[in-house]
Amino acid sequence: MSQDSVRLERRDHIARITLNRPEVLNSFNNGMFTRMLAVLAEVSGDRSLRAVYLTGAGRGFCAGQDISGGVPEGPYGAHLEKHWNRVVLGIRHLPLPVVCAVNGVAAGAGANLALACDFVVAAAEASFIQAFVNIGLVPDTGGTLTLPQLVGRARATALLMLGDKLPAPRALEYGMIHAVCPLAELETTAWALAARLAGMPTLALGLTKRLIDVSYGNDLRTQLVAEGEAQTIAGHSADHREGVQAFREKRPPVFIGR
């Protein structure tokens, strides 16, 4: 496993994760999966962290599965379960907001990796391609669930079945991503968002992320109960006490993330 295929740095309570195989547009091979899962486990266990920033090195964000060496051995479903599904779930299960700075093309599972994050900020030059169909595969990594939710069935069907390139400004029009900016401003813009999130009540943000995820399978009654349970937890937090205190004292709150 190459430690360098996915870089992990920490600054200002933010974990910066960089996909780092630029010569293949950061497509994933087995070593990179191992490293990515180790990085996600490390981030998950670090209570000092309050936000995550994910990006790619070089001119691409991620071109999905590395297909340069042929195809994975064994059933693809088993490969997905062992690798991609764990990466996607690893991101969704992090109790931290994840900002994805899409610096270039995001194709196949790479596009859905970006969409698994809580916020996607893309360079205007970037694009999203549901490239699976172009090599005779079905969309995976959650794309058949995430994309219809984000853009509606008609647009999702076209993207998933036609496999065309969707430029980032169009993805923004579709409501698929959070923001677009010039490539030269991507780092500053996306990092500022991560820094803002890192100063917010982390526990409440993590619970909100969870509530959004469970909402897809819930009816209203079940969701109301889930909200009540989460609110009970948030209601016991130091950040809730601080928020109310700050309101009463007419000053900005200073959240500590607990």
CB neighbours of residue 136 within 10 Å: 6
Tell me if 143 sits within 8 A of 110, measured CB to CB.
no
User: Closer to ligand T3D at the Cβ: 25 or 114?
Assistant: 25
Rounded CA Rg of the chain: 19
User: Closer to ligand T3D at the Cβ: 85 or 215?
Assistant: 85
In the complex, what is the shortest distance from the CB of residue 179 to ligand T3D, in angstroms, rounded to a whole number? 22
Q: Measure the CA–CA gap between 186 and 208, rounded to whole angstroms.
A: 26
User: Closer to ligand T3D at the Cβ: 80 or 246?
Assistant: 80
Query: Tokens 């219809």 map to which residue?
Result: 148
Dihedral (CA of 198, 199, 203, 208) sign: negative
In the complex, what is the shortest distance from the CB of residue 123 to ligand T3D, in angstroms, rounded to a whole number? 14
In the complex, what is the shortest distance from the CB of residue 67 to ligand T3D, in angstroms, rounded to a whole number? 4
User: Closer to ligand T3D at the Cβ: 159 or 204?
Assistant: 159
The alpha carbon of residue 188 and the mean position of all alpha carbons in its chain are separated, in whole angstroms, by 18
| Strand ranges for the chain from DSSP E | 6-11, 14-19, 51-56, 60-62, 98-102, 105-107, 119-123, 127-129, 165-167, 179-181
In the complex, what is the shortest distance from the CB of residue 82 to ligand T3D, in angstroms, rounded to a whole number? 9
User: Closer to ligand T3D at the Cβ: 158 or 214?
Assistant: 158
Helix axes 30-44, 84-93, angle to 10 degrees: 20
Closest to 37 measured CA to CA, from 12, 72, 8, 13: 8
Q: Which residues bind ligand T3D (CB under 6 A)?
A: 24-25, 27, 63-68, 72, 76, 79-80, 105, 107-109, 129, 131-132, 135, 137, 140
Strand partners, 42: none
In the complex, what is the shortest distance from the CB of residue 77 to ligand T3D, in angstroms, rounded to a whole number? 7
User: Closer to ligand T3D at the Cβ: 135 or 233?
Assistant: 135
User: Closer to ligand T3D at the Cβ: 8 or 105?
Assistant: 105
List % helix, strand, coil for the chain (3-state, nearest 5).
Answer: 50, 15, 30
In the complex, what is the shortest distance from the CB of residue 32 to ligand T3D, in angstroms, rounded to a whole number? 11
In the complex, what is the shortest distance from the CB of residue 176 to ligand T3D, in angstroms, rounded to a whole number? 17
Strand order in the sheet with 6-11: 6-11, 14-19, 51-56, 98-102, 119-123, 179-181
